[in-house]
Structure 1
Amino acid sequence: MNQRKFAHTAFFDETASSQRFVADLLEQADIHINGSRPWDIRFNAHGVIDNALSRGNLGLGESYMNGDWDAERLDEFFYRLIRAQLPEKVNISKLLYHAISSRLLNRQSARRAWQVGEAHYDIGNDFYAAMLDSRMTYTCGYWKEASNLEEAQEAKLDLICRKLELEPGMRVLDIGCGWGSFMAYAAEHYGVECVGLTISREQAEYGKQLMKRGLPVEFRLQDYRDEAEQFDRIVSVGMFEHVGHKNYRTYMEMAHRCLRDDGLFLLHTIGKNVRNTSPDPWLDKYIFPNGELPAMGQVTDAAEELFVVEDVHNFGADYDKTLMAWHENFEAAWPQFAESYGERFYRMWRYYLLSCAGAFRARDIQLWQFVLSKQGVLGGYHRAS
């Protein structure tokens, strides 16, 4: 049986009620089942509909990883799905345990905090080097005047330096420093000394290469809760998503403790539009264990009485472009990793990059940069742009 005929048969083998329900839902997003457009969903096996209805994005994502369905433009499929708010229209009772546990348990405790480093960031520096820009910057680029990924990431790093009003000789703490792209850029271009905290052994090992270049940067393999030194400036780029709502206040207290009274703190984080929603179960299982996106109010609640919010900048639409650039690099480099990582990893990573691009395109999730001060900047803070 050819694939087209099998896909047609697989769909109609589902229960009639599920067929009608899903087809009607997808029609609201202008997505056709077994259609010919790039964003249409095409079935390759039985059970996709029931799996998605019973297990939400966890079932849909695992079915995709197994090769049970495809969409040529996965990013456009998810953009349309999310923009039409279809996930909110499906009540999935079987995901109740995940929702309850994410709210009641401290899934980002000091003991569990290391899990994401081992599961995600330690999969191989060579893999990330092939996907990212030359500085290994694994956060959203700033595309205001950029025409490619390299320019967008440099623009983002410089924007942060200017927002922090860096001056030569300052000491800067980077909470969740990644592969040190910000620290290296700030040290080279602004003459500052940097200390970076990471829970990834691969990232800490990579950091030794920066230190061999004579840059005044230090990598500390430790949890943020253990830091006690004081710094002129603090930056945290793409790490707050791993903190968890039960630890937001602890995080802010740590930043307050470590920042000098006249210092500035820049917090760069992905965020969600509505609080008290559960983490995505597929991303939690396969990409970012124990991850949780904050709502804006949760950030400001945690900062209350500790910091003055000087500035908030949303450039979440730029993450769509960043993710699509990463995906392009990933696809180009995949032949050199295919044998080591395998087809299931390929489909998992493609699903991750393109589903997230679709979510940012639909403006369902955001990218915020907060600038915070302990006592308020006298005369007011003036944002760099």
Structure 2
Amino acid sequence: MSSQDFANELLAKADIQINGSRPWDLQLHRNDVIPRALAHGNLGLGEAYMDGHWDCEHLDQFFSRLLQARIAEQVHPSRLVMHSLKNRLFNLQGKKRAWEVGQKHYDLGNDLYQTMLDKRMVYTCGFWTQAKDLDTAQEHKLELTCRKLKLKPGMRVLDVGCGWGSFMQYAAEHYGVECVGVTISKAQIELGKERCKGLPVEFLLNDYRDLPAIFADKPFDAVVSLGMFEHVGPKNHRTYMQVVNQVLKEHGLFLLHTIGRNAGGTPPDPWIDKYIFPNGELPAIRHVGEAAEKLFVVEDLHNFGASYDKTLMAWHDNFEQGWPELQKNAKYDTRFYRMWRYYLLSCAGAFRARNIQLWQWVLSKQGVEGHYERPAL
């Protein structure tokens, strides 16, 4: 059987046709796309898309169908063995390598993120149950997060992986708390300080492992981490939990907001690792639970992964609308445009297929007296 026939057979299980007429069908411009994808998996497929060798009108639908039919499980790329071994044998998220994602992703350009994100610049999943637009969905997520942490005026809050300070700005303005945020992105700090000017908000350019030494005698009333745990890596999950335990007061709450996968034991996506989030790895539920053992009590676990589909589609819409202006900057060329489109829409398809999830964990050091009740929005 030829590679084209094999691909046709596989894609038919997802109701996808090669050179078909529907918006989720694959349009080939070169004959080597299929062999490239079979040999290299999503790395080959993604690079071929970046090179303009194939197209699809609605990539989100293409990936949603592909993942729902579990097509990837039926393909065993012959040239990704070393990628898998590398992730199992080495600590790719060690302190020296931890800064790479800041430089390659978060420092890409504040103009890109200002174009793509909501008005508060929240680069994590919105909460869409009562929202009809991105700004509202992100405000609802921030409000729900504050309520889950039971914030009160005068509290000191640590934000691990604070981005441009969106949570800290919201919490300081609406709950009267003082915030310290840590990030590994210089660009985020530069713009974040400007956006939070006049508020009791402080930014630190540090690795999370530096925090116990910095705050040895100044523990926080609450700790929040929105969309940073994905960069920690399984070999460091326990260290991360120990760090948070050390900087949190005995009766404080910790909210961990992270993307997660349904099962462990599989290596990170090689295309995402190479082009979007170097050295990242999504945890499974057991990874978080095992890392928290004897350090925290799990008070609440909330899955709203379906909201990430809507969030990513909204980001994509903003990116498309802003592209004419963005492309005036020479670093945002056609290959970047195709790469970023592939990133946003493939991830939207993955959340739509429920292939990956979004969890908010609320943890305490000793257990909340009586019981912890998840607040309503």
Letter in 1 for 2:200: P
Secondary structure of 1:94's counterpart equals coil
The one of 281, 288, 302 aligned to 1:292: 281
Q: Cα RMSD over matched residues? A: 0.7
Identity of paired residues, percent? 65
Report the Cα distance in structure 1 between the residues aligned to 2:207 and 2:235, rounded to whole angstroms. 16
Letter in 2 for 1:83: Q
Instruction: Report the counterpart of residue 90 of structure 1 in structure 2.
Output: 75
Instruction: Report the counterpart of residue 169 of structure 2 in structure 1.
Output: 184
Instruction: Report the counterpart of residue 124 of structure 2 in structure 1.
Output: 139
Report the Cα distance in structure 2 between the residues aligned to 1:175 and 1:103, rounded to whole angstroms. 26
Instruction: Report the counterpart of residue 163 of structure 1 in structure 2.
Output: 148
Does residue 342 of structure 1 match 2:326? Answer: no
Report the Cα distance in structure 1 between the residues aligned to 2:252 and 2:89, rounded to whole angstroms. 34
- Asked if the contact 1:120/1:288 (under 8 Å) is kept, the reply is yes
Does residue 363 of structure 1 match 2:347? Answer: no
Report the Cα distance in structure 1 between the residues aligned to 2:30 and 2:192, rounded to whole angstroms. 45
- Asked if the contact 1:170/1:232 (under 8 Å) is kept, the reply is yes
Instruction: Report the counterpart of residue 225 of structure 1 in structure 2.
Output: 209
Q: How far did 1:175 drift?
A: 0.2
Report the Cα distance in structure 2 between the residues aligned to 1:180 and 1:225, rounded to whole angstroms. 20
Secondary structure of 1:197's counterpart equals strand
Does residue 380 of structure 1 match 2:332? Answer: no
Q: How far did 1:94 drift?
A: 1.3
Normalization by structure 2: what TM-score? 0.97
The one of 195, 205, 213 aligned to 1:210: 195
Q: How far did 1:46 drift?
A: 2.5
Does residue 271 of structure 1 match 2:256? Answer: no
Report the Cα distance in structure 2 between the residues aligned to 1:210 and 1:378, rounded to whole angstroms. 37
Report the Cα distance in structure 2 between the residues aligned to 1:373 and 1:183, rounded to whole angstroms. 21
The one of 96, 102, 106 aligned to 2:91: 106
Report the Cα distance in structure 2 between the residues aligned to 1:366 and 1:103, rounded to whole angstroms. 22
Letter in 1 for 2:298: V
Report the Cα distance in structure 2 between the residues aligned to 1:68 and 1:143, rounded to whole angstroms. 36
Choose 374-383 or 332-341, whichever is displaced more: 332-341
Q: How far did 1:210 drift?
A: 3.2
Instruction: Report the counterpart of residue 153 of structure 1 in structure 2.
Output: 138
Instruction: Report the counterpart of residue 23 of structure 2 in structure 1.
Output: 38
Report the Cα distance in structure 2 between the residues aligned to 1:127 and 1:350, rounded to whole angstroms. 13
Report the Cα distance in structure 2 between the residues aligned to 1:124 and 1:70, rounded to whole angstroms. 27
- Asked if the contact 1:210/1:217 (under 8 Å) is kept, the reply is no
Report the Cα distance in structure 2 between the residues aligned to 1:226 and 1:362, rounded to whole angstroms. 38
Structure 1 runs not aligned, ≥5 long:
1-15
Report the Cα distance in structure 2 between the residues aligned to 1:208 and 1:194, rounded to whole angstroms. 12
Q: How far did 1:93 drift?
A: 2.6
Does residue 310 of structure 1 match 2:299? Answer: yes
* Paired residues for 1:193-208 under 5 Å: 193-208=178-193
Letter in 1 for 2:267: S
Does residue 351 of structure 1 match 2:342? Answer: yes
Q: Which string of whole-angstrom CA distances, capped at 9 and with x for unpartnered residues, describes residues 171-192 of structure 1?
A: 0000000010000000000000
Secondary structure of 1:327's counterpart equals helix
Secondary structure of 1:227's counterpart equals helix
Q: How far did 1:85 drift?
A: 0.2
Secondary structure of 1:39's counterpart equals coil
- Asked if the contact 2:162/2:225 (under 8 Å) is kept, the reply is yes
Normalization by structure 1: what TM-score? 0.95
Q: How far did 1:260 drift?
A: 0.2
- Asked if the contact 2:160/2:223 (under 8 Å) is kept, the reply is yes
Count of matched residue positions in the alignment of Structure 1 and Structure 2? 369
Report the Cα distance in structure 2 between the residues aligned to 1:65 and 1:264, rounded to whole angstroms. 43
Does residue 69 of structure 1 match 2:54? Answer: yes
Letter in 1 for 2:245: H
Report the Cα distance in structure 2 between the residues aligned to 1:361 and 1:210, rounded to whole angstroms. 33
Letter in 2 for 1:257: Q
Report the Cα distance in structure 2 between the residues aligned to 1:359 and 1:62, rounded to whole angstroms. 18
The one of 146, 149, 159 aligned to 1:174: 159
Secondary structure of 1:85's counterpart equals coil
* Paired residues for 1:315-330 under 5 Å: 315-330=304-319
Q: How far did 1:211 drift?
A: 4.0
Letter in 2 for 1:98: H
Choose 334-343 or 252-261, whichever is displaced more: 334-343
Report the Cα distance in structure 2 between the residues aligned to 1:90 and 1:173, rounded to whole angstroms. 43
Secondary structure of 2:2's counterpart equals helix
Choose 89-98 or 154-163, whichever is displaced more: 89-98
Report the Cα distance in structure 2 between the residues aligned to 1:46 and 1:193, rounded to whole angstroms. 58
Instruction: Report the counterpart of residue 245 of structure 1 in structure 2.
Output: 234
- Asked if the contact 1:270/1:368 (under 8 Å) is kept, the reply is yes
Letter in 2 for 1:221: L
Report the Cα distance in structure 2 between the residues aligned to 1:285 and 1:148, rounded to whole angstroms. 31
Secondary structure of 2:48's counterpart equals helix
Letter in 1 for 2:101: V
